[in-house]
Structure 1
Amino acid sequence: MRDNSVDYRQILLNEVPLFDVRAPVEFAHGSFPGAINLPLMDDTERAQVGTCYKREGQAAAIALGHRLVSGELKASRIAAWADFARTHPDGYLYCFRGGLRSQLVQQWLADAGIEYPRIVGGYKAMRRFLIDSLDAAASECSLQLVAGLTGTGKTEVLQRLANSVDLEHHAHHRGSSFGRHATPQPGQIDFENALVIEVLQRRAAGFNHLVLEDEGRIVGRCNVPLPLYQAMQQAPLVWLEDSFEQRTGRILQDYVLDMQAEFAVQHPDAPEAAFAALSEHLLSSLLRIRKRLGGERHQRIQALMQDALALHGSQGDVHAHRDWIAALLQEYYDPMYAYQRENKQERVVFSGDADAVVEYLQG
C-alpha cells in the first residue's frame, strides 16, 4: 500500500486533489479549498453509529457501521471513491483524525484493486498545521496596510501586488454594510483555511513582507483570525487617495452594476426578479445603518435610492444612483474614515494615488 506519510505544507500549497470521507455535516462545517466530499457514511448513518458507540462501545459501533454501509450502497460508494482515485492518482483521502474511517475506505479501495494513500492525522492535523502557520506568519512577517476612503479602489491596488493577501476575497464580502454578494459567505473555518493557504503561498514565493487592506476585525460575518488582526493593528498604513468623482463611479460599478450582474446569474430567465433582488439588497443594506445615519438622514437617502431604482428599472438609466452614493459618502462614510485616519495618523507612512501607492509598496 502506498506511503501514508505526508507533507501538509506541500499538499496544501500544490493543491493536491483530496477527498474527504467525513459525513456531509462535518464537511460543511469546514474543509480545504478544492476538497471533494465522498463520505463513508451520510449524516443519518453517522448519527446512528455515534449513538451506538456511546451506548455499547466501539466494537458494536463498528459492526453497526458495516451493516449500514453494505451491499449495493457500499458498492456505489466504493465506485465513487475509485472514480476519484483513477481521475486523481496523485491525490489523498482523509477523515477527521486519520483513523478508522479513512483506514476502512483505504482498505475497501485496496480490495477493489486500488492502492490510495490517506493522510495520517486527517483533517484535524492539517487544520492544526494551518492555525500554527498563521500564528507563525503573524509574528514573523512584516505587514503594511492599504487604507483610504470608501471607493478609492483598495482592492484594485492589492490585485496589482504579488505579495498581497485579500481578506475581502476570502470572506466573499466587500467589508461594508453594502458589501454582501448575491451568494453566501463561506463559513468561518473555510475562510480561515483559504486565507492561511494564500499566506503560505506568498511565503513560499519568497515574500515575508505582506500587504493587506486595513480592515476591521469582522468582514461581513467572517472574523479575521486574532493573531493576524493584532499584528495588523501595529502595521504601518499607506493611504490611498482618489477623486470624489472616481470614487462615486467605482461604488456605482461595484454596488449597483456588478451586483445586478450577480443577481442576473441567479435569475437567468427572470430579469424582473434579478432587479427586485438588487433593489431589496440596496434598501436592506441602507436599513442596516439606519441608527448610525439617524432617522431623517436615512429617509432622505432612502428616497434618493428609491428614485434611482425607479429610473433604473423603467429606463435602464443608472446615473441617478450617483445621488444617493454621493450623499452616503459625504454624510456618512467620509466623516467616519476621516475620524479613523486622525486616530491612526502616526501610522501613515505614505499617501498617494493608486500608481504612486503601488510604486511605493513595490519599492
Structure 2
Amino acid sequence: MRDNTEDFRQLFLADVPLMDVRAPIEFSKGAFPAACNLPLMYDDERQQVGTTYKQRGQEAAIALGHKLVCGDTKAARIDAWIQRVQANPQGYLYCFRGGLRSQLVQQWLSDAGVQYPRVIGGYKAMRRFLIDSLDEAVEQCPPVLVAGLTGTGKTEVIAALSSSLDLEGHAHHRGSSFGRHATPQPTQIDFENRLSIEALKVREFGAQRLVLEDEGRMVGSCSVPLNVYHAMQQAPLVWLEDSQENRISRILSDYVTAMHAEFAALHADPERAFAAFSDYLLNSLLRIRKRLGGEQHQQLDALMQQALTEQQSSGDETLHRAWIKGLLENYYDPMYAYQRESKQARVVFSGNHAEIIEYLAELTINNQHGA
C-alpha cells in the first residue's frame, strides 16, 4: 500500500482488518478499531532490542531480535499471523513506521508461502492522517450542537442522524458525574481515532454539517480534540425539550436499569454485582456533594439508599425516581438554566425529539443542495 491519504481513507471507510505487529505496550496506548495485535516482539523482547540498538547499533539489535524470536517461538508467531491472514485475506499488516518489523513479518509470511500487504508509513502515518482529517472535517463541515436539560435524550437525537459524531459513545462515558460505565473508558488516542474514523464516514455519506452533543472539554477522562472543541464553542445550538416525567424515566433507564445490567454482566455473583452497582450510584452522588451542599447531599443520599434497599429486596426500581427528581430540580436544572442563558444568542431552534431531528436533517439536506 502506498503512503497516501486516499489509501488510508479507503482503509478506514471500509473497516479493513488490520494486523498490528507492534509490541503490546504500544498497542495499548493507541490503536485502530479494526486492528488486532499480533506482535513480532513482546514488550520485554522489544525493550532488550531497543537497549541494544542504543548501545551497539542497528546490526547488533537486529541480530538480538532474531535470537530472541527463533525456533518454536518464531513458528508459533508465524502460525498466529497465518491464521489471521486466512481469516482476513483482504487485510493489511503494519508496525509503527512501516519499517523493519512489518517488513520482517511480511518476509517470514512470504517464506511460509503467504503473501500479505503492509501499510507503508505504518501506524504513525495512519494516525497523522486521522488527526488531519478530523481537523479538516470540523473546518469544512461546521458543527451544530444539540443542547438541552439532563435527561432530554440528546444521545437519542445523535443516534438518529447520519450526520452526527457521537462524542459520548466513543468516549464510553455519558459526560456527567454519573456518566461512567461499568467498563473502562478508552485511551485518549483510541477515542480520537474512533472519532476521526466516524467523521470520515459521515463526510463520505455526504453530510455538510457535523451534529454533536453540547459537551465540555472533558468527557469523563477523554479530552475533546482541541480543534473540535474550539469549533463547538462557536457553533449554533438547537435546544431539545422534554417533560420532567419523561426525563426522570430516561435517567432511571440509563443510570439504574442499564447500569445494574452492566454490573450484572461483569459479576457472576448477583450480590457482588449489586454491591458494585450501589457503589457506582452512591459514589457518583458523593462526587458532587460540595456543589450540592451537605444538607442536600444527605437528603438525596438517604433517598438513594432507600431506593437501593427496595430494589435489592423486591426488584422494584420506582423509589429511584425520588432522588432523580430531587437531583434534577436542585442541581442539574439550575446549572443548565445558567448555561442556556449564557448561550442564548447561539440557540437557533427549540423543539421536541421529532422536531429537532427533522430540523437537523433538513439543515444537512439544504446545505447539500447549496442552500
| Correspondence 1:337 to 2:342 | no
1:193 corresponds in structure 2 to 193
| CA distance, structure 1, for counterparts of residue 133 and residue 357 of structure 2 | 27
1:28 corresponds in structure 2 to 28
CA RMSD after TM alignment: 0.9
2:316 corresponds in structure 1 to 317
1:100 corresponds in structure 2 to 100
| CA distance, structure 1, for counterparts of residue 88 and residue 317 of structure 2 | 48
Describe the superposition over 1:25-71 as per-residue Cα deviations: whole angstroms up to 9, x where unpaired.
00000000020000000001001111111111111111000000000
1:4 offset after TM fit, Å?
A: 5.5
| 1:348 partner letter | V
1:23-62 pair list within 5 angstroms: 23-62=23-62
Q: 1:106 to 1:200 in 2, by over 3 A?
A: same
| 1:127 partner letter | R
Please give the secondary structure, in 1, of the residue aligned with 2:234: coil
2:369 corresponds in structure 1 to none
Describe the superposition over 1:72-101 as per-residue Cα deviations: whole angstroms up to 9, x where unpaired.
000000111111112211110000000000
| 1:232 partner letter | M
1:286 corresponds in structure 2 to 285
TM-score, structure 2 length as denominator? Answer: 0.96
Q: Which runs of 5+ in 2 are unaligned?
A: 363-371
Answer yes or no: is the 8 Å Cα contact 1:4–1:118 preserved in 2. Answer: no
2:70 corresponds in structure 1 to 70
| CA distance, structure 2, for counterparts of residue 86 and residue 245 of structure 1 | 53
| CA distance, structure 2, for counterparts of residue 159 and residue 343 of structure 1 | 27
| 2:240 partner letter | L
1:339 offset after TM fit, Å?
A: 0.2
| CA distance, structure 2, for counterparts of residue 289 and residue 64 of structure 1 | 54
| CA distance, structure 2, for counterparts of residue 319 and residue 30 of structure 1 | 42
| 1:356 partner letter | E
| 2:234 partner letter | Q
| 2:63 partner letter | A
| Correspondence 1:273 to 2:257 | no
Q: Which runs of 5+ in 1 are unaligned?
A: none
| CA distance, structure 2, for counterparts of residue 153 and residue 85 of structure 1 | 42
1:261 corresponds in structure 2 to 261
| CA distance, structure 1, for counterparts of residue 165 and residue 138 of structure 2 | 13
2:359 corresponds in structure 1 to 360
| 2:72 partner letter | E
1:123 corresponds in structure 2 to 123
Please give the secondary structure, in 1, of the residue aligned with 2:344: helix
The ranges of structure 1 where at least 4 consecutive aligned residues each deviate by more than 6 angstroms after the TM superposition are: none
Please give the secondary structure, in 2, of the residue aligned with 1:81: helix
1:5 offset after TM fit, Å?
A: 5.6
1:307 corresponds in structure 2 to 306
| 1:300 partner letter | Q
1:162 offset after TM fit, Å?
A: 1.4
Describe the superposition over 1:98-122 as per-residue Cα deviations: whole angstroms up to 9, x where unpaired.
0000000011111111111110100
| CA distance, structure 1, for counterparts of residue 115 and residue 171 of structure 2 | 37
TM-score, structure 1 length as denominator? Answer: 0.98
Q: Percent identity?
A: 67
Aligned pairs, number = 360
1:248 corresponds in structure 2 to 248
Q: 1:136 to 1:4 in 2, by over 3 A?
A: closer
| 2:190 partner letter | D
Answer yes or no: is the 8 Å Cα contact 1:4–1:117 preserved in 2. Answer: no
1:164 offset after TM fit, Å?
A: 1.1
1:167 corresponds in structure 2 to 167
Describe the superposition over 1:182-236 as per-residue Cα deviations: whole angstroms up to 9, x where unpaired.
1111000000000000000000111121111000110000000000010011111
Answer yes or no: is the 8 Å Cα contact 2:3–2:121 preserved in 1. Answer: no
| 1:167 partner letter | L
| 1:288 partner letter | R
| 1:334 partner letter | D
1:130 offset after TM fit, Å?
A: 0.4
1:308 offset after TM fit, Å?
A: 0.7
Answer yes or no: is the 8 Å Cα contact 2:19–2:38 preserved in 1. Answer: yes
Answer yes or no: is the 8 Å Cα contact 2:22–2:38 preserved in 1. Answer: yes
| 1:202 partner letter | V
| CA distance, structure 2, for counterparts of residue 118 and residue 31 of structure 1 | 16
